[in-house]
Amino acid sequence: MNAPFTPPAPESLACEPVVRVRRLSRRFTLKGVLDGVDLEIRRGEFVALLGRSGCGKSTLLRALARLDHEAEGDGEIVVPERRSVVFQDARLLPWKRVLDNVILGLSGPDAEARGVRALLEVELLGREASWPYELSGGEQQRVALARSLVREPELLLADEPFGALDALTRIRMHALLKRLSEAHRPAVLLVTHDVDEAIELAHRVVVLEQGRVAADIAVELPPDGPERSVRFAALRRQLLGRLGVAEREAAPTLISSGDPP
Amino acid sequence: MSAQSPTLFSAVLKRPDAARRPWVATKAVRAVRRLGVGKPDPLGWLLGPALLLLVWTLGSMSGLIDARILPAPWATVSTAADLIHEGRLQANLAISAWRAAQGLAFGVVAGVLVALASGLSLWGGYVFDGLVQVKRAIPVLALIPLIVLWFGIGETMKVTVIAISVFIPIYLNTHAALRGIETRYVELAETLGLSRWTFVRQVVLPGALPGFLLGLRFAVMAAWLALVVVEQLNATSGIGYMINLARTYAQSDVIVVGLVVYALLGLTSDLAVRQVETRALAWRRTFGR
Ligand SMILES: Nc1ncnc2c1ncn2[C@@H]1O[C@H](COP(=O)(O)OP(=O)(O)OP(=O)(O)O)[C@@H](O)[C@H]1O
Ligand SMILES: [Mg+2]
């Protein structure tokens, strides 16, 4: 794996946000979930969304994906037309081969070539004709990523996409997602419950609490060196504190700091 | 990762000495599935019928089975040979098969069309589903008097009865499969921005195919059942007619030949549908296959 490296926040941070959420509220029968969420994401910006289980992360993401038909609420949402969702389950159509899953709904003579290129990017070249059941969980998730990226989204929404993967596969997926999001530069909203994952990947970490954005912290880590480890640890402690977890309670992970492996 | 783990790994990877470590299997043994029924032999299902044949043969040889009640297997075989020689068996078989095929074709087409209309649109469902449920409550056999009144006792009546029996399982299974498409896939299609037509063609129809094929298997059985009924009713040709005639003359061997033919028809057609199923559902990893 490449040395973990958080690039400097993109210069385009100065430009217009592609996602704008104002005073968003959502409620399910009798149960308020979101209560005045404000959030902006700029082009090329990678935002991680943290929060306790049941705090409404998925609800927010589904609202941005325009999938929340059953929730009531109001507020203002501006999202780009071209957006892709990576779900927690890879959600491949079992009756379509890998390549057909990737290019599902694409038209045009170059659709297949684009699909093959996307599979190359996720390191799955040669598996075009496999059935989804013949792939491992991580491979399926990579196909789902290829399916999202082949559409060249302006906004990539991902709801715990690596939640079901083992720690090693997850590290490889982090590197992959990082590389791909830097190459394609969509705005990214990644829902996760893994603080390390959030710091590792994102330019900004947003914490959702009691239906609102309770913290919005820029991740500005030097690319390498002992300084990085110290700052990583401090940020980790700060975020865990916000989530109401003392650090010694948090499970140790394989990427506890920026040490090169 | 601790410093010990490399040694741990290499210890495991080292070729184990079989004599000193009897619990390590040195020959590659494929793990046996502990739950589930395991991989069946494709010809395994023949065992039951073979046993039945054996009991029948032994019973007839020892005289335990009276030939007037059930003729011996060899007598049945020679009767079948005679019937084939006279050409009666083939002629009647062709007529019966043609009736069943027509009824099956009409029933399947109608079942699929109505299921699509009621499965893919809310209003189609309101109109057709209730009707089919009402129809389902009336056994097909109870409708025969009315059908005879409308179509007479000729071929049209026979094909109609078979088609109606086929229609029901095709409709029910296809409709349920179309409506039962998982929300996850609907959401996926929405986020991919699929058009309604693409959604139906790429997601709903292939997703409903297993349901349709299950319906087809029921439908084929229903077709043979309906065939038997209409041929007993008032026929002047067909396997059912042959059996009926044999009853009049107390030719139990002919009756048994007719029954064997029915069994063979049912089995081969079921096998054919299963073959189609295996081809069409290659994407599915199923229990016991
Ligand atoms: N369709 C629904 N109907 C009723 N209540 C719902 C529905 N979807 C979510 N909720 C409720 O809204 C709250 C927020 O759910 P949400 O799925 O957004 O949580 P989350 O932050 O994604 O949690 P997790 O980290 O466990 O995935 C939960 O309390 C849940 O019970
Ligand atoms: Mg969630």
Judge if B7 and B48 occupy the same domain.
no
Contact criterion met (CB < 8 Å) for A104 and B191: no
Whether B129 maps to a domain, the answer reads yes
ipTM of predicted assembly, 2 dp = 0.84
Ligand nearest to the CA of A67: 1
| Cα–Cα distance, B41 to B43 (Å, whole number) | 5
Sequence-distant (6+) residues with CB within 8 A of B221 are: B266, B270
The residue among A163 and A205 whose pLDDT is bigger is: A205
Least confident of A118-127, B23-32, B267-276: B23-32
Report DSSP state, residue B237: S
Judge if B20 and B86 occupy the same domain.
no
Task: Please determine, for residue A162, whether its predicted confidence score (pLDDT) is greater than 60.
Answer: yes
Whether B201 maps to a domain, the answer reads yes
Structural contact between residues B169 and B218, judged by C-beta atoms closer than 8 angstroms: yes
Confidence of residue B69 (pLDDT cuts 50, 70, 90): confident
| Cα–Cα distance, B251 to B13 (Å, whole number) | 73
How many structural domains does chain B have? 2
| Structure confidence at residue A71 (pLDDT) | 78
- In this prediction, residues A143-170 reach a mean pLDDT of 91
| Structure confidence at residue A116 (pLDDT) | 95
Q: What is the mean pLDDT of chain B?
A: 86
Is the CA virtual torsion B83, B85, B86, B87 positive or negative?
positive
Burial pattern B92-131, b for ≥16 Cβ within 10 A else e, equals bbebbbebbebbbebbbebbbebbbbbbbeeebbeebbee
Judge if B128 and B174 occupy the same domain.
yes
Task: Please determine, for residue A253, whether its predicted confidence score (pLDDT) is greater than 60.
Answer: no
| Structure confidence at residue B238 (pLDDT) | 92
Query: What's the fold here for domain A16-82+154-261?
Result: Rossmann fold (3.40.50)
Report DSSP state, residue A35: E
Judge if B103 and B14 occupy the same domain.
no
- In this prediction, residues B15-44 reach a mean pLDDT of 64
Pocket test for ligand 1, best of A59, A162, A243 (most atoms within 8 A of CB): A59
Expressed as residue numbers, the domain containing B12 is: 1-35
Task: Please determine, for residue B7, whether its predicted confidence score (pLDDT) is greater than 90.
Answer: no
Contact criterion met (CB < 8 Å) for B191 and A84: yes
Judge if B3 and B102 occupy the same domain.
no
What digits encode the pLDDT tens for the residues A57-97?
Answer: 999 999 999 998 877 888 889 999 999 999 989 999 999 99
Judge if B135 and B202 occupy the same domain.
yes
User: Whole-model pTM?
Assistant: 0.79
Task: Please determine, for residue B175, whether its predicted confidence score (pLDDT) is greater than 70.
Answer: yes
Judge if B29 and B116 occupy the same domain.
no
Confidence of residue A1 (pLDDT cuts 50, 70, 90): very low
Nearest CA in chain B to A254: B1
Mutation target vs A (from B183, B186, B188, B203; most A CBs, 10 A cutoff): B188
State the CATH number of the domain containing residue B51: 1.10.3720.10
Whether B152 maps to a domain, the answer reads yes
Task: Please determine, for residue A257, whether its predicted confidence score (pLDDT) is greater than 60.
Answer: no
| Structure confidence at residue A69 (pLDDT) | 82
Judge if B22 and B55 occupy the same domain.
no
Ligand nearest to the CA of A33: 1
Q: Which residues pair with A157 in a beta bridge?
A: A85, A189
Whether B207 maps to a domain, the answer reads yes
Question: Considering chain B, what percentage of its residues have pLDDT values greater than 70?
Answer: 87
Least confident of A247-256, B76-85, B241-250, B268-277: A247-256
| Cα–Cα distance, A138 to A162 (Å, whole number) | 8
- In this prediction, residues B89-118 reach a mean pLDDT of 95
Distance between B280 CA and the closest CA of chain A, angstroms: 10
Mutation target vs B (from A93, A101, A102; most B CBs, 10 A cutoff): A93
Question: Considering chain A, what percentage of its residues have pLDDT values greater than 90?
Answer: 55
Task: Please determine, for residue B256, whether its predicted confidence score (pLDDT) is greater than 50.
Answer: yes
Contact criterion met (CB < 8 Å) for A105 and B202: yes
| Cα–Cα distance, A207 to A216 (Å, whole number) | 6
Ligand nearest to the CA of A63: 1
Distance between B207 CA and the closest CA of chain A, angstroms: 7
Contact criterion met (CB < 8 Å) for B203 and A84: no
Rounded to 5 degrees, φ, ψ at B149 are -60, -40
What digits encode the pLDDT tens for the residues A113-146?
Answer: 999 999 998 999 999 999 999 999 899 999 999 9
Confidence of residue A245 (pLDDT cuts 50, 70, 90): confident
Sequence-distant (6+) residues with CB within 8 A of B223 are: B100, B103, B104, B107, B162, B165, B166
Rounded to 5 degrees, φ, ψ at A215 are -155, 145
Structural contact between residues A139 and A126, judged by C-beta atoms closer than 8 angstroms: no
Confidence of residue A259 (pLDDT cuts 50, 70, 90): very low
SS3 state of residue A12: helix
Judge if B129 and B20 occupy the same domain.
no
- In this prediction, residues B184-210 reach a mean pLDDT of 94
* Nearest 10 degrees: Cα torsion B256, B260, B263, B269: -140
Q: Sort strands A31-42 and A204-209 into parallel, antiparallel or unpaired.
A: unpaired
Cβ-based contacts under 8 A for chains A and B: 53
- Is A89 at the interface with chain B, CB within 8 A? yes
| Structure confidence at residue B41 (pLDDT) | 84
Rounded to 5 degrees, φ, ψ at B71 are -65, 155
Structural contact between residues A232 and A257, judged by C-beta atoms closer than 8 angstroms: yes
CA of A68 to the centre of ligand 1 (A): 11
Whether B213 maps to a domain, the answer reads yes
| Structure confidence at residue A19 (pLDDT) | 93
Nearest CA to ligand 1 atom 30: A54
In angstroms, what CA-CA distances link B166 with A73, A243, B117, B156, B219? 49, 61, 18, 15, 5
Judge if B27 and B55 occupy the same domain.
no
Least confident of A70-79, A189-198, B71-80, B88-97: A70-79
Structural contact between residues A56 and A210, judged by C-beta atoms closer than 8 angstroms: no
Q: Sort strands A187-191 and A17-28 into parallel, antiparallel or unpaired.
A: unpaired
Whether B65 maps to a domain, the answer reads yes
Strand order in the sheet with A46-51: A83-86, A155-159, A187-191, A46-51, A204-209, A212-218
- Closest alpha carbon to A160 in A57, A32, A30: A57
Confidence of residue A11 (pLDDT cuts 50, 70, 90): low
Ligand 1 nearest atom to the CA of residue A55, by list position: 21
Nearest CA to ligand 1 atom 14: A56
Judge if B129 and B176 occupy the same domain.
yes
What digits encode the pLDDT tens for the residues A223-240?
Answer: 788 888 888 898 999 999
Judge if B123 and B14 occupy the same domain.
no
In chain A, residues 122-141 whose CB comes closer than 8 Å to chain B: 131-133
